[in-house]
Structure 1
Amino acid sequence: MRKLAGYAGLVVGVVAVVMSVYHVYARLTVYAADQQALLYITLAFSLVLSFLLWPRRKGASPDRIPWGDLALAGLSLACIGYMFVNYDYVVNRFPTADALSPMDMAVGITGTLLVLEATRRTIGAALPIVAIVFLVYGFAGPWLYGWTYHRGLTLELAVDQTWFTTEGIFGVPMSVAATYVILFIIFGTFLERSGAGQFFMNFANAIAGGARGGPGKVAVVSSSLFGTISGSAVANVMVDGWLTIPMMKKTGFKPEAAAAIEAVASTGGQIMPPIMGAAAFVMAEFQGVSYTQVMVAAAIPAFFYYGALFAAIHFNAVRSGLKGIPREELPILGYIMVRQGHLFLPVIVLLTLLLYGFTPTYGAIIATAALVGISWLRPATGLGWRACLEGLRDGALHTVPVAMACASAGIVIGIVLQTGLALRFTAFLIDFTYGSVLPALLITMVAGIILGMGMPTTPAYIMQAALLVPAIIKLGVDPMAAHMFAFYFACLSAVTPPVALAVYAAASIAGAGLWGSGVQALKFAAAGFIVPFFFIYNPALLFQGPWPDILGAVATGTVGVIALAASLEGYFLRRATWFERGLFLAAALLLIDPNAVTDVIGIGLLVVVLLLQKLWVPQSTLAREAGA
């Protein structure tokens, strides 16, 4: 992103502030533009800021805006302006039935190309390439075979579907970005401006820093809290990791382990309620449910994810003989809470509003307003007018990549709907898997990981929701479980080699090898790969069903993820043999599965392995201790 100063920086800053202010205004008054006009306005702001701030290539014009980019920004305004000048015609025409004029065609083609270029600049080439591939598929239908065959789209039909309907660029993903995402990002930037990020770090240090492997446990606590602010695994690593990774290395963690812990902890920020990133809001819209339902459903899997990571760090530290941070270097919890504890209150306000049925938009706005007032309980954290303007500016700038990703994902969805690909692919997948759920889940898992390697979580999830999730639901899976499954693996791609962006970011800070860090990250994130399969078969893990079933699933699952960590780290009461690690793994899988029979068997296996750990010391361990 360009670092603009002087007049150019001022103008861009004003544009960004106006973007944020308008989106807050649009949620608070009935006099604002309707929803479709709001989408046009959001895209206009996003395109203009994309071309003004993101250069055509890395390293180009870091401190000035070339004339070509100014021209692209102006062309973006012209395309959106055309939609407003002809607004009644656009909203009242019959899409794909009424013919487009030559000017309509020119605007639609130009606007689509501008969206693809702005997306490439802001988040990389992967998603625009995918969108182009789907556009080509739309034209190539008559020359394809089997389930990929369709009648083919004319250029006019493709432009109509992509630009002039509400099932293309201006579809559900863009609507989510314009309605929900920007308001929650603004809330996050205000939290950051108040010093909440440093407070979360101090709080985590105070409660966990002194324990064995304390810096690793601090990373877990602080990253889960900081996910409320960033919603991005890589951003979380870059903000949090510069402090936690050196602390971990200082207390004895290997560089690969330190990088893996930070990457896995930061990735979990996207699945941790109350704020889970843009994809969670898209998930709610796709299902036609409230965001609160998505947030509640995500709570138990997120608890298991971080619980398993916390246990794995503990076992890793004990096995390696690591200590915590010296007591004299730790912040005092009482002191931290007195000086900065009030910064928890805005998050509590937001969570309370959501649970009491307020819409996410009003919840985010009220929580942001509360944050400004609450920040002044201590002058050191008070948000003045300058900090508020900077928060509004940063909120808009952080929204732009999300909005462009949603716009390009809308192109894919439009082609999928117009060609009927989703229905044919669902039928193909059901036939291919012979109506079995497990193979379909494995295909979805692999697709989510592959898609997430080249693009952010939101578009990776949207692709799965358009093509794969309908097939899983058709096989009898609960819709919430099916969508949550796809969402999880879109997130976990950030720590899955060979392209694991969160691991790359953490390894660069730790000075660690990429492959070693990636393999260690897979071990630390194991619960995230296993739990989704279990909530598919038993929705009690998604807070669905009778309370006794839910509480039982939480209890046995908690024991199960601890056993899983013991298996992967090879330590519990002492170093575990391979046989004991196998017993721990079997017990973990049986206990995570919320079923009475598997729970009983799992507890039995766990008792056996604990007795072995307590009563029998293998010769290899005795020899190791003698050598020490």
Structure 2
Amino acid sequence: MAEKKRSFSDEELQDLVSSTDSGARAPRNRYVALLISGIALLWSLFQLWIAEPQFWFAGTADFMRIIGSDQTRPMHLTFALLLAFLAYPAFKSSPRHYVPVFDWILAITAAASAFYVFWFAREISNTARRARLIQWEVDWNILGWQIDTIYPQVIVGCVGLVLLLEASRRALGPALTIVGGAFLAYSYFGTGWLIPELIEHSGRSFSGIINTQWYDTNVGVFGIPLGVSTAFVFLFVLFGSLLDKAGAGNYFIKLAFAGLGHLRGGPAKAAVVGSGMTGLISGSSIANVVTTGTFTIPLMKRVGFTSEKAGAVEVASSVNGQIMPPVMGAAAFLMVEFVGISYLEVIKHAFIPAVISYIALIYIVHLEALKNDMPALGASRSLLQMFLKIFAGFAVAGVVFWGVIAGVGLLRDVAPAISEPVLLVVVLALYLAAIWVSAGRDDLEMDDPKSKDIKLPVMNEVFPTGLHFLLPILILVWFLMVERQSPAKSAFYAVSMMLFIIVTQRPLKAMFRQGGAILDETKAGFRDLIEGLIAGARNMIGIGVATAAAGIIVGTVTRTPIGTELAGLVEQLSFGHLFLMLVLVGVFSLILGLGLPTTANYIVVSSLMASVVVSLGAQEGLIVPLIAAHLFVFYFGIMADVTPPVGLASFAAAAVSGGDPIRTGFTAFFYSLRTVALPFLFIYNPALILYGIDLGTTEGLLQAGFVFVTATFAMLLFAAATQGYFLAPSYRLESAALLLVAFTFFVPNFWLDRVQPAFESHPPTSFEQVLERADPGDEIRLVLRGPDFTTGAERSLHIAHIIEGDGTGAERLEATGLLLIPEGDRMLMEEPMFGSPFDSEMQGFDFYDFDTPVELVSVQSEADRLPAQLFYIPALLLLALVVVLQRRRQTKPAF
């Protein structure tokens, strides 16, 4: 007998979101509820202060002094821990309507442990970070134990670590707590029957572990992950919360339905686009599912989607919201620190995979509608026309944007002294004009998706009502992409605009409508502001705790051999093949992601595996950019929210649809195969992430446009192949042919490499002559061989070197920092000069093994060969054959 399924009520869905994102506890005691809200409000205000204003007021008062990361990070964690124990019950059976006394004790103790690091930051910098401890001489006798000296820093750090792991268990589930505890145990013991011989070490002292994990701002709890959470992530989460509170979420959903609702399977297409836009608001895939899914899933079911497929579409689109620039998940900000590039570069590399992934998902939904002959809501429209309109809209917006850039540049050249005030007045005028236009229309109301009569919104009616919501997003994009400001500063200005909007939009509308109660609307605006600030802080609890707890793993990897040795184990399991190792890393990410949030999963796997992907690729002769390895891990971490048996986003969607969560998860995974395939593709073809393409030149822009068009075409064919439907239901051979065509368009170099080698080899003794003949911008590869520093086994390595500027061969050789020793036909090498381009890449070699020296085996220069795009011709002919075969069976329009 089939199990009876049910849809959850709105209250149950909100409880599901709060229990995972902001804490499920809602005390009935008014004073306790106000205290929790007040702490959250103070956290938001503190984060806004450290983001920028402290620099304006520095020196005016002692309490306005500038504080550094050694104090901001502990204060950030103080708020997170205090709220974690107050907002998250210990167990499902624990009371939610009041805070037990024990939780008060834990909250205060945990917060005090982090606050200790804030308050005694200067003393700690002079002791713990120099491996010295503050000690107190005492004369205590406790149960026969004579204690003469206590170390307060060790006690505080120990208590803090234990309570941090407990907070992570409450907020995120047991997985991160177990992993963090296991890493701490491994760090201390080093050896034991549970620890494989490969990663054994002598063990670290208890005080040494506490010093590393609780008092070091480079690694450990207060290291880079928590620093990113403090400096960047909080502001972006707050930005999203304020947008949502202002009403932007409903506006984006209405826009999506106005543009796509009339197409076949329109509600599903609108769910994809709406979820992509609400990704600006929510960094949580679960909140995204519930926010958009409560409206889109019932409508998808109405046009013919099953409960599981409707939920799966929502899951696939909501989870991908974390990869959509310009506002990506917290892991994107961590990439800035881990990879050492700007956030703008991260956006550049993530843009094409994210966009084509969403386009492909829209197409997948379209194919589902065709396969099942689903009707449209209202008069049917063409998908192709919709794509053309979107393209035209983007083209017009791009021209306007470039015009604004030119205008601002001209203003700054002509009148630099008054340019900033003029721009501020222009932004204010645009805002007032947008509010005036919005006030001329009724405010958007939330629709009831269960209503019998569905009236799809009209774009001309919806679009003007929320123009002012686009201003802070444009400000964010402007400062990130045009002004090239830091993510923190860009987010601060965007949040500042949102603070102004949320306070003023209501009274301004009332004033323009000439009849509203301006005073009442002003009060309502300030209520929205306070509620938005509180919601932003509560949404940050889990992220703050997760980044701090994940820092334990980073600290252990840094101070023990597990990073290098585990990497060696993965290399052994993959038999030295990069593709097999990528599969293992992907599976590892999925398994860890069953219990870890995306951010923590990314921190753990990237710390262990990202550099291994790069190094093993170099051994195979494939130069893998570090950003590609990090994006690979990021994509698979996101997929963990989809994958059964845990897949929290799938469970949330099933709660809305009333479908089976496991089947929903498997269907969502099937829809997300494009997201699984993309990381492998851009590892082997980095052009897909625009690596090595200069967008500041006309040639670079044209190349990027070509990559985007071909990648989109290939991804649509991939989607058609995996769905088993193109112009008509596909036979297996036709699907295989479509996959082959898609692969050729994604990685044409694969076929060319089979025909012509990419590089021409030269003897190592001719290195200087090769450098002499090379032109600026040419790539030269060096093949090295020598003993591994860790294992002593001989290994090879390929290193890419881009020629920069003019010069003789001798001058270019000196610029590399390589120290070469000719010995007959061989070219031996000494350790490269410190800080030279090859210094970090060659650290894995043992230059002090005199029996087996490191040597330059060969020098490779780019070979003259046919353009790889020639293979598009046979691919297109194969596609034409599939089209001819399917046209005979086609019964309905393909678009």
Corresponding letter in the other structure for 1:606: L
Q: Quick one: which of 530, 534, 553 aligns to 1:389?
A: 530
- Alpha-carbon contact 2:642-2:669 (below 8 Å) kept: yes
Q: Which residue of 2 aligns with 1:20?
A: 44
- Alpha-carbon contact 2:741-2:879 (below 8 Å) kept: yes
> Structure 2 matches for 1:503-582, cutoff 5 A?
503-546=650-693, 547=700, 548-582=702-736
Q: CA offset at residue 126 of structure 1?
A: 0.8
Q: Quick one: which of 95, 112, 115 aligns to 1:78?
A: 112
Q: Quick one: which of 134, 137, 142 aligns to 2:191?
A: 142
Q: Which moved more, 1:17-26 or 1:3-12?
A: 3-12
Q: In 2, Cα distance between the equivalents of 1:431 and 1:503?
A: 35
Corresponding letter in the other structure for 2:157: G
Q: CA offset at residue 287 of structure 1?
A: 1.2
Q: In 1, Cα distance between the equivalents of 2:637 and 2:315?
A: 15
> Structure 2 matches for 1:142-181, cutoff 5 A?
142-143=191-192, 144-166=195-217, 167-181=219-233
Q: CA offset at residue 374 of structure 1?
A: 4.5
Q: In 1, Cα distance between the equivalents of 2:738 and 2:631?
A: 27
Q: Quick one: which of 450, 468, 471 aligns to 1:342?
A: 468
The answer as to 2:177 corresponding to 1:128 is: yes
Q: Which moved more, 1:411-420 or 1:513-522?
A: 513-522
| TM-score calculated relative to the size of structure 2 | 0.67
Q: Which entry has the higher C-alpha Rg, 1 or 2?
A: 2
1:121-164 superposed Cα distances (whole Å, 9 cap, x missing partner): 11111101110111121123233454211111222222121112
Q: Which residue of 1 aligns with 2:146?
A: none
- Alpha-carbon contact 1:563-1:585 (below 8 Å) kept: yes
- Alpha-carbon contact 2:275-2:292 (below 8 Å) kept: yes
Q: Which residue of 2 aligns with 1:405?
A: 546
Corresponding letter in the other structure for 1:10: L
The answer as to 2:125 corresponding to 1:91 is: yes
Q: Quick one: which of 617, 640, 647 aligns to 1:500?
A: 647
Q: In 1, Cα distance between the equivalents of 2:746 and 2:214?
A: 46
The answer as to 2:579 corresponding to 1:438 is: yes
Q: Quick one: which of 47, 56, 59 aligns to 2:90?
A: 56
Q: In 2, Cα distance between the equivalents of 1:61 and 1:499?
A: 25
- Alpha-carbon contact 1:540-1:594 (below 8 Å) kept: no
Q: Which moved more, 1:188-197 or 1:378-387?
A: 378-387
> Structure 2 matches for 1:304-453, cutoff 5 A?
304-326=356-378, 329-356=455-482, 357-374=484-501, 376=504, 379=509, 384-453=525-594
**SS at structure 2 position matched to 1:331:** coil
- Structure number with the higher strand fraction is 2
Q: CA offset at residue 364 of structure 1?
A: 1.0
Q: In 2, Cα distance between the equivalents of 1:478 and 1:503?
A: 33
Q: Which residue of 2 aligns with 1:109?
A: 158
Higher relative contact order (Cα pairs below 8 Å, separated by 6+ residues): 1
Q: In 2, Cα distance between the equivalents of 1:443 and 1:332?
A: 48
1:536-580 superposed Cα distances (whole Å, 9 cap, x missing partner): 122211122343443332222111111122112222222222222
Q: Which moved more, 1:168-177 or 1:364-373?
A: 364-373
Q: Which moved more, 1:237-246 or 1:552-561?
A: 552-561
Q: Which residue of 1 aligns with 2:889?
A: 617
Q: Which residue of 2 aligns with 1:38?
A: 72
Q: CA offset at residue 62 of structure 1?
A: 1.2
Corresponding letter in the other structure for 1:13: S
Q: Which moved more, 1:81-90 or 1:326-335?
A: 81-90
Q: Which residue of 2 aligns with 1:472?
A: 613
Segments of structure 1 that go 5 or more residues without pairing to the other structure are: 623-628
Q: In 2, Cα distance between the equivalents of 1:198 and 1:145?
A: 53
Q: Which moved more, 1:431-440 or 1:225-234?
A: 431-440
Corresponding letter in the other structure for 1:575: P
Corresponding letter in the other structure for 1:149: E
Corresponding letter in the other structure for 2:509: P
- Alpha-carbon contact 1:119-1:405 (below 8 Å) kept: yes
Q: Which residue of 2 aligns with 1:11?
A: 35
**SS at structure 1 position matched to 2:876:** helix
Q: CA offset at residue 189 of structure 1?
A: 0.6
Q: Which residue of 1 aligns with 2:293?
A: 241
* Cα gap change, 1:417 to 1:309, in 2 (>3 Å): same
Corresponding letter in the other structure for 1:3: A
Give the percent of matched residue pairs that are identical in Structure 1 and Structure 2. 34
1:88-125 superposed Cα distances (whole Å, 9 cap, x missing partner): 22112363732464222211110101101111111111
Q: CA offset at residue 257 of structure 1?
A: 1.1
- Alpha-carbon contact 2:606-2:633 (below 8 Å) kept: yes
- Alpha-carbon contact 1:593-1:599 (below 8 Å) kept: no
- Alpha-carbon contact 2:251-2:466 (below 8 Å) kept: yes
**SS at structure 1 position matched to 2:129:** coil
- Alpha-carbon contact 2:574-2:584 (below 8 Å) kept: no
Q: CA offset at residue 524 of structure 1?
A: 1.3
**SS at structure 2 position matched to 1:142:** coil
* Cα gap change, 1:67 to 1:374, in 2 (>3 Å): closer
CA RMSD of aligned residues (A): 2.0
* Cα gap change, 1:164 to 1:604, in 2 (>3 Å): same
- Structure number with the higher helix fraction is 1
Q: Quick one: which of 250, 269, 283 aligns to 1:217?
A: 269
1:387-412 superposed Cα distances (whole Å, 9 cap, x missing partner): 11111111111111100001110111
**SS at structure 2 position matched to 1:545:** coil
Corresponding letter in the other structure for 1:611: V
Q: Which residue of 2 aligns with 1:593?
A: 747
Q: Which moved more, 1:115-124 or 1:131-140?
A: 131-140
Q: In 2, Cα distance between the equivalents of 1:215 and 1:430?
A: 46
4+ aligned runs moved over 4 Å, structure 1 = 374-378, 380-383
> Structure 2 matches for 1:280-291, cutoff 5 A?
280-291=332-343
- Alpha-carbon contact 1:256-1:516 (below 8 Å) kept: yes
- Alpha-carbon contact 1:139-1:154 (below 8 Å) kept: yes
- Alpha-carbon contact 1:212-1:322 (below 8 Å) kept: yes
Q: Which residue of 1 aligns with 2:600?
A: 459
The answer as to 2:481 corresponding to 1:481 is: no
Q: Quick one: which of 325, 343, 360 aligns to 1:273?
A: 325
Corresponding letter in the other structure for 1:499: V
Q: Which residue of 2 aligns with 1:626?
A: none
Q: CA offset at residue 511 of structure 1?
A: 1.6
Q: In 2, Cα distance between the equivalents of 1:81 and 1:463?
A: 26
Q: Which residue of 1 aligns with 2:875?
A: 602
| TM-score calculated relative to the size of structure 1 | 0.95
- Alpha-carbon contact 1:556-1:599 (below 8 Å) kept: no
Q: Which moved more, 1:131-140 or 1:254-263?
A: 131-140
- Alpha-carbon contact 1:27-1:361 (below 8 Å) kept: yes
**SS at structure 2 position matched to 1:150:** coil
* Cα gap change, 1:594 to 1:358, in 2 (>3 Å): farther
- Alpha-carbon contact 2:80-2:544 (below 8 Å) kept: yes
